[in-house]
Structure 1
Amino acid sequence: MNPQNYKIPKSETGFYSILVGLGIFVVVLITFLGTAFFQVLNDNQINSSKINLNKQVELSSKQIEKRFTAFYDDMFFFVNNLEPWTYEKGDNEVLAFEKRARRIFNNHRDLLDTITVFFPNQTVVFHFDNRNNFIKEYLESKKNLPFPAQNELHLNNFTTNVSISAKVNLERFFFDEMTNYYLGISGEKLIFCDGKLRGAHDQTLKGGFSIEETILNQMLIQVADGLKGDFRGNFSNKNEEKEFEALIHHYPFSLYPLKSKFSTVFVVDRNIITTGIFSTYFYLILALLILLALVILILFKSIKNSQLTNETLSKNANEISELFRRQALLLHETKGFIYFQDEMGKMTSVGGEVKAVLGYEKEDFRKNFKDYISKKDRSRIEKTISESISKKNGSISFELDFKTKSGKYKRTKIFERLEFDQKGNFIGNVGICTDIQEKYEREQEIVKSENRLRAVLNSLPDLIFIYDNEGRYLDYYVKDQSLLVAPLEGAIGKKLIDILPKDLGNQIQQVFNHTIKTGNMQTAEYEIDIPSGRRLFEARFFRLDNDKVMSIARDITGQKLWQRGLMEAKKAAEEANLAKSEFLANMSHEIRTPMNGLLGIIPLLEATTLDEKQKEYLQIIRDSGDSLLNIIRDILDYSKIESGEMTLYNSVFKLKAEIEKIFKIFSGLVNEKNIQFTSHFDASLPEYVELDKDKLRQILINIIGNAIKFTPSGGKIEVDITGEMVFEKHVILNFEVKDNGIGIPKDKIEMLAKPFVQLDSSSTREHQGTGLGLAISQKIIELMGGELLINSEFGVGSVFSFNIFGKVWNRSDNFLELVEEEDDNEDFIWKNMAQEYPLKILLAEDNSTNLLFMDMLMTQLGYNYDVARNGSDAVRMAKESDYDLVLMDIQMPVMNGLEATKIIRKSRGRKITIVGLSANAFQEDVDQAMETGMDSYLTKPLKINEITSVIRSCSSKNGIKKEVN
């Protein structure tokens, strides 16, 4: 047919006219629907924006109120947990207080500027400076605050008289909180407070924002009533010189205890919300119209080709359906290949992925796949498939081992879909083979691990049981059946309370229930009779998972017996140590009592007329007595250190003056040996320190004494003292004692600080001693927080250095209490001092030697005194006469000095001065004497200057002193 002679039939012309008319109608319909849809979308966009604004402004207000409430709660908790003595009790309390203050700053940094804490005697200010340093300042009173009393919260604890003032920065707080919400380029975030609007502008809250007056009035009413609201009206921003119709939403909130009413206000330009819709949907409608024209054109052409297309689709329909079915199966499983079989089990097709899984080519595997199945799986698989076909199962799955191209077996999982015709006859199947080798190996490893764990549990000597949450036995592992309370045959499924004896069952059930309730491990100990005898067990219950509980019970009978033996041994050791302490105390008393008479009478003899030979003999007696006292002191001190009973007794004293006193002690020996002794005090040393003065004195006497002892005549000793400030109020004192003495061999330095060790232990050694001095000094230094270092070279000299930790005091400190810095008692002329200091004195003493010494001393002092030979007589005589001073021995027959002091204090009060006399030199003895009411305590052997110092102190206390011309 010639195409030029071809004419369109009338039927086709009518069809085309209908198609064109239908196209015009569709265009008009789309235009109408697009316009209507735009209007709906525009309204929906505005409503969506309103909902979003409403949620955001509510979240913002609640978050601000929540954050401020959390801050106020923290401050309230802080003030109610402060004690007025925080800065008086010690450094630990101060550090804990300052840590709490810093933690509050860290939690509320965007809100809080300054915290001021007012203690009764101290005002402390905390704040951060411009460099983000945490600053602490001390003020004397509230008048010295560095900021005016505005934007502040005041919290008072009237019980403790402690208060806190916190200065807050609401502007920064509001700005930081509102930055968490995004309103778009046209949005404004404002704070409404007391009828005024302020908004975030250039990172600060500023004014210059206004809303229609009617809206502002309504908002003011709603905020006062605590109601949220939304409006639509004009809004202007004078900061950026713009005005627009806006959506306005606000949500009120309060900041307790502030009285102002607040509300968060979010504003969005309504026009910007809908501006994007116009352009977007204009182009969308235009695109739809163009698309419609293209569709009509394509449809016109497709009519001509519809018959050819239908024929092609018909031919390919079955193939497409098959492809979709294969795709669905491939999506069901991964890492595998697909295959097809007919009703005889012959493979008709296989996917090319078989090579990646098993290594075979497609054709090779299709023909020989049965040969590649492991022999142990063949019969099982054939039986499984046969049973599934007979039962008309839709699908089956199983696992088998395939032999790969490399000769190794690989674990695979098979999923097959069985196909049946309408009559129910099997017509073939399609399947997927998936590689599960890695999963299979992991499962096998888990099985092996479980078997190993089971073997370990079976080998443990403990009794292991597993229960459900109701206490029923699920499993158990028991190696030794003789440890069981009852046989476990038939116990699985029964509750433990049904198996155990009643009392034990109730106890264990309570522990079990507590384990279930808390989820934490619980322990129970129980004693019970078993076939092997009465035994003690410890059982621990804990959760295995949400459904199981495990218990492990162990026989601890032997352990308890061992612990009991250990406790008995410890008790015996403590008793032995107590006996040793009592022996040392008695030894001290027994030795010091005769030494009191021996050494006390020496100053009296020195006051008599003596020739040079007699003075020499007297000096020998004094030196021997002092050496014996030092040996006794060293033994007692080391005994206390060894038992861990040595305690530090800190006091405040003038550092340099006290050390110079120690230097004076050695002045005679230094001059005698012609030693060049120099000392240097660093300028950084504090004037007053707080530490144990007596312990420091003992350390320096030991170390300097050793230096003098081992430095030859004409030698040189240098003492250097420096200080290092720590934490403002503390100091590390560094001492260095350097000499050019005989020195110490390198291999002997480590032995030097060991007790009872002397480098020369021969009977002919030149320098005598117990070998305890350095050992005691090292222990005391460690107790005072320091370390002793020894550097020495044999034949050259030695350097002993140590450091100790102390507290610094200043004269400006309000509660600094100092004893008189220097007593002039050393230069005091004590003979016939009764004329200047007349006192009525009672001496309570039972030892004849001490009475003889005191009689000689009192005679030279010019006092007539009374004597009580026991505590009972002292009480009686104190009631009968008005004594100014009682010198009370501690250990006396009938009634000791402590009991006598208590009775005298009850009858005479504090008017009479009572001074304890004892040979016991332990600090606890001194403390006990002071607690009973004694005013002072002197340790035997007594020194004349100590007695005269007590008399002068008593005279000063009672206002008794005669003017002597």
Structure 2
Amino acid sequence: MKKNELQAAFNAVFSNSFQAILRLDAEYTILDYNPAAAEWIKKVYGKKVGAGDSFLEYLPGEDVEEFNENIKRTIGEEHPHYKLFSIIGGKDQTEYWTEYQFYPVIIASVFTGMYVFIFDITERKNVIDEVARSTRRFYSLIKNSSDIVSVIDADGFIRFTSNSVEKILGYLPAEITGKNFMEYIFPADLENFKTAFSGSMSADRKSFVSQFRFLHREGYWVFLESLGSNHLGDETVRGVILNSRDVTDRRHFEEMLKKISRQNELILESAGEGIYGMNREGRITFANPAAAEMMGFKVEEIIGKNHTEIVKQVTAEGVPCPVEECRYYTSMLDGNTCSVDDAFFTRSDGGFYPVEYISTPIKEKGEIVGAVVTFNDISERKRNEEELLKAKEEADAANRAKSEFLANMSHEIRTPIHNILGFLEMLDSTELDRTQREYVGISRESTRTLLEIISDILDYSKIEKGKVEIEVSDFNPRVLFESTVELFSATAAERNLSLYAFIDPGLPDLLVGDSLRIRQVLNNLIGNAMKFTPRQGEVAIDIVMEERTAKGCRVSFSVLDTGIGVPLEK
């Protein structure tokens, strides 16, 4: 059964049980109760039970000391369970014979509360008393009792059983009368029953209570709880009277309670986050091992302590924060879940560490009764963040150094290029033949293009911005196109390539744009085309005006070649 299904079944049994059930915390404060419990307390005490009431208010004063002593003893047992029989004087002066059964809830070896089952055994007690006075009256009373009332002799043989045995166990009274009662008890439960039964034979102990499994006529086992009373010496009875009732549903409820408690315990113990809970007064009611370890305590050392003694929030400098400023506590007061990722908690040794935590209020029937705090030690994450910040600062310093280097190199690189341009201008003014002048012109244009590209690369502000902006200016597309193509004419002749160029005659003489970027793109396209075109191949460059409007025109630049190309699918 899954956890949510198990919890739903548990809640259904708790709410709908005819048995009075209370849920207490470790300080015996009532946290929850079912309708049957509310009805019982109303009947006996004439008052309405409420969450937050002390259970000790509903326990006779003379029984409180015995209750406290036995609960402490029971908590340390492997299967903690304790019974208390009490006589309560009701509001109408009626005496109520009452049986309390206590089932402590242990989580991570820590007592966190208990479930209390309350049984009004007044009727059962009265029945047994009446049986002791008169055999005839006894049989008339028990014949139609809702419980199974049986009389067995000292050897365990059934001398009489009430009609209810058929409804609960499937047997007709005549079928089971004369049989040995103990032959129907589950083998694993028999020894405990025999011990209780034998104990009732002593002079100082005439009664007993025992739980065991009894074989149903259909072959399955039914959990019975029997209240036994020794009347072997009574001439009218001459036997042990057993008042037995079916407690199968209650046992299933108890088993589900154990499973849920164990499952919750495993979840808490295995959780990597620190988890602890506190009640309305700020006392820690439970904590898992991870929480205790991060705080520097053992689990048992912090249970019951006020949270201000254990969980102290401080600033990054270690200065204690006032409790009214600590969200893990104030969220319980205002009823709002809060998440904090920049707090610091102290350890038992006085040190402190960074944490992130979530504080969630616990509500019981609409009332806030406490809070659960889940927290993580984020020391390692903080160290990683500091290392990343340090690495970023180092990277920024390296970038600044690079930028400074490029800024310094800008002048060093531009100066010789300007010198080359100057000498080319001087060379162009001398006596040159046609071919020499053409070469000088190409060299001068190439040098200017190189200077523009280098200027763009070395521009410090553009590097800092991480982008190169488009420079808009007027230019003549024909001059740009012809000068660009002319740069590759010598290379084309050397590789025996045919270089064709076409400029749309409808193209305007003046365009506005970034001529440097256009030249760079054309240089790349033409250069690649010539690089991958075999000797005696062809490279064609076209500039075509595709569209012209009053606001401008769209111009297409294309380069075609007879090289190997790239497949369309790639």
TM-score range, shorter chain: 0.3 to 0.5
Bigger relative CO (Cα 8 Å, ≥ 6 apart): 2
Higher-Rg structure is 1
Give the alignment's TM-score, normalised by structure 1.
0.30
